[in-house]
Amino acid sequence: MRRGARVAAPLFPAAAALGASFGVLARTAHMDAPAAIVMSATTFAGSAQVATVSVLGAGGGVAAAVAAALLLNARYAPIGISVAKSFRGHALKRLGEAQLVVDESWALAGGGTARFDRRVLLGVGATLWFAWVGGTAAGALLGQAIGDTSAFGLDGAFAALFVALLAAQLRDRARITAAVAGAVIAASLIPLTPPGVPIVAATAAVFVGRRRT
Amino acid sequence: MSDAWLAVLIVGAGTFVLKAVGPVGVAGRRLPARVDQLLELLAPAILAALVVTETFAGGRSLVLDARLAGVAAGIAAVALRAPLWAVVVAGGAATALVRLLS
């Protein structure tokens, strides 16, 4: 776990800043600070939370907000299955540990590979959780002082982070093929499906990667 | 209950279940070797999809904006074997800079 915390430490400021930008966004969408903080502590998934408050802020209603968020989080079903065999012990313990699964903790701990290390996932997940919740609290409570967060380029920072996490995965031909296929599937579906679906559909790329080896 | 709190509760509960599917529902069970082999490829597939959506998705359309500069800086930083924090900083700085100038 300590190794995971060390791995995640360099990401702490960025995760906290992104949390703060969510907190600011939540307040501008008329979500009060306690609700924003509770959401970060329980949902702990950036894009889904941003989608929720964006839909609510645009007057889209609860059902549309929930649907948008859960589609974005649907990828956690296949992601969780890919590391399921590393989780042992009482169901309640596994239930708690499962909540620390986020894209970054999963990828930094080895993804669904044989090298996957559950303790690294827990360390990274816990570290990012504190950054995310603390950042949200700061953003939600001090929002007005922070101003327009898009100027900070956090979206670009996280896109770059995913580039680095992806690069670490491209070790052989099968993985490169799967990545290319995943990117093509996602890009083709973005104009056709609601956000979230392109990422879940990209899981089909594993079949393409396997066939080519 | 306000709409915001209702959404927080339902999204939180739904995400809780989605995250639990694997570690609670499937845990301990031995998956067929073929499935294991496929799951080995899940990380590159999903991370590539995340790069594409985080870079080009604007709702339901493909857009080119300042995020592209962030990704280009990220790729350069990765190519230079920069540490993770530097990749993130480079991505954020490039995006912010393009936004400032445009």
Q: pLDDT per residue over A161-197, tens digit each?
A: 999 999 999 999 999 999 999 999 999 999 999 999 9
Phi, psi of B58 (to 5 degrees): -130, 90
Mean pLDDT (whole number) for A20-49? 94
Residues of B in contact with A152 (CB under 8 A): 92, 96
- Contact between A112 and A83 (Cβ < 8 Å): yes
- The percentage of chain A sitting over the pLDDT mark of 70, rounded to a whole number, equals 99
Residues of A in contact with B29 (CB under 8 A): 84-85
Phi, psi of B57 (to 5 degrees): -80, 130
Q: What is the DSSP letter of A76?
A: H
Among residues A117, A13, A187, which one has the least CA distance to residue B57?
A187
In the three-class reduction of DSSP (H, G, I as helix; E, B as strand; rest coil), residue A160 is classed as: helix
ipTM: 0.93
- B contact residues 8-67, partner A, Cβ 8 Å cutoff: 8, 10-12, 14-16, 18-31, 37-57, 59-62, 66-67
Give the one of B5, B31, B94 whose C-beta lies nearest to A156's C-beta: B94
Cβ pair B39:A163 closer than 8 A: no
Residue A77 has pLDDT above 90, yes or no: yes
Please list the pLDDT of chain B residue by residue as tens digits (102 residues). Answer: 789 999 999 999 999 999 999 999 987 777 888 888 899 999 999 999 999 999 999 988 999 999 999 999 999 999 999 999 999 999 999 999 999 998
Q: How many C-alpha atoms does A53 have within 13 Å on its Cβ side?
A: 25
Nearest Cα of chain B lies from the Cα of A132 at a distance, in angstroms, of 15
Neighbour tally for A151: CB within 10 Å: 11
Residue A120 has pLDDT above 90, yes or no: yes
Cβ pair A153:B25 closer than 8 A: no
Give the one of A39, A107, A183 whose C-beta lies nearest to B8's C-beta: A39
Mean pLDDT of chain A: 92
Our measurement of the distance from residue B18's CA atom to the centroid of its chain's CA atoms, rounded to an integer in Å, reads: 16
Task: Please report which helix (H) or strand (E) contains residue A75, including its range.
Answer: none
How many Cβ pairs closer than 8 A exist between chain A and B? 345
Q: Does A88 touch chain B (CB under 8 A)?
A: yes
pLDDT, residue A145, reads: 77
Q: Does A120 touch chain B (CB under 8 A)?
A: no
Residue A40 has pLDDT above 90, yes or no: yes
Phi, psi of B62 (to 5 degrees): -90, 125
Residue A2 has pLDDT above 90, yes or no: no
Residues of A in contact with B45 (CB under 8 A): 178-179, 181-182, 202-206, 209
Neighbour tally for A41: CB within 10 Å: 15
Q: Which of these ranges, A70-79, A170-179, A204-213, has the smallest mean pLDDT?
A: A204-213
Measured CA to CA, the distance from residue B62 to residue B40 in angstroms comes to: 29
Alpha-carbon distances of A27 from A37, A59, A136, A144, rounded to whole Å: 11, 14, 10, 9
Residue A65 has pLDDT above 90, yes or no: yes
Measured CA to CA, the distance from residue A158 to residue A11 in angstroms comes to: 10
Q: How confident is the model at residue A211 (pLDDT cuts 50, 70, 90)?
A: low
Could you tell me the sign of the dihedral formed by the alpha carbons of A49, A50, A51, A57, in that order?
positive
Measured CA to CA, the distance from residue A100 to residue A126 in angstroms comes to: 6
Q: How many C-alpha atoms does A39 have within 13 Å on its Cβ side?
A: 34
What are B55-77's pLDDT values in tens digits? 999 988 999 999 999 999 999 99
Q: For A150, which residue in chain B has the nearest alpha carbon?
A: B96
- The percentage of chain A sitting over the pLDDT mark of 90, rounded to a whole number, equals 80
Q: Does B76 touch chain A (CB under 8 A)?
A: no
User: One-letter amino acid identity for A28?
Assistant: T
pLDDT, residue A200, reads: 94
Residues of A in contact with B10 (CB under 8 A): 62, 66
DSSP letters spanning B47-87: HHHHHHHHHHEETTEE---THHHHHHHHHHHHHTT--HHHH
